[in-house]
Amino acid sequence: MNRFATTEETVSSSRPPAKTAGVRRRKIMWMTTVVLFFAWAGYIFVAQSAAISDKSGALARKQEAKAGADQSLNQLKYEVSRLGDNEYIGELARKRYNMYKPGEVPIRVEDNGQ
């Protein structure tokens, strides 16, 4: 300490000057702002994560439905291509409508209940 200091100066040095109180107040305001910002960012993150997970589930269900539709489409395309074959049409006529070629003898098997 200064040997020329007065007693008033020594008394005032024991309590913080007004400049330090302003710095402390600004720090508290800054920290409050930062904490509020991070709380808001955390809330937004959680809300968006929930929305993304919901949409991901919906996307997975739609992709499964699309895969099923693609499979049935391929099956139908295969059946249509087979309908262009005369042998296949004859086979369907024999099976479904009991139509046979002239001179062809149908063979029928009866089940005995076994």
Domain holding 67, by residue range, is: 7-97
The answer to the question of residue 111 being in a domain is no
How many domains are there within the chain? 1
Per-residue model confidence as pLDDT tens digits over 61-99: 999 999 999 999 999 999 999 999 999 998 888 888 888
Distance CA 73, CA 66 (A): 10
Cα-based distances in Å from 35 to 30, 31, 39, 79: 9, 6, 6, 66
pTM for this model (two decimals): 0.51
Are residues 83 and 89 in contact, defined by beta-carbon separation less than 8 angstroms?
A: yes
Pairwise CA distance, residues 20 & 12, whole Å = 13
102 found inside a domain: no
> pLDDT tens digit string along 21-50?
889 999 999 999 999 999 999 999 999 999
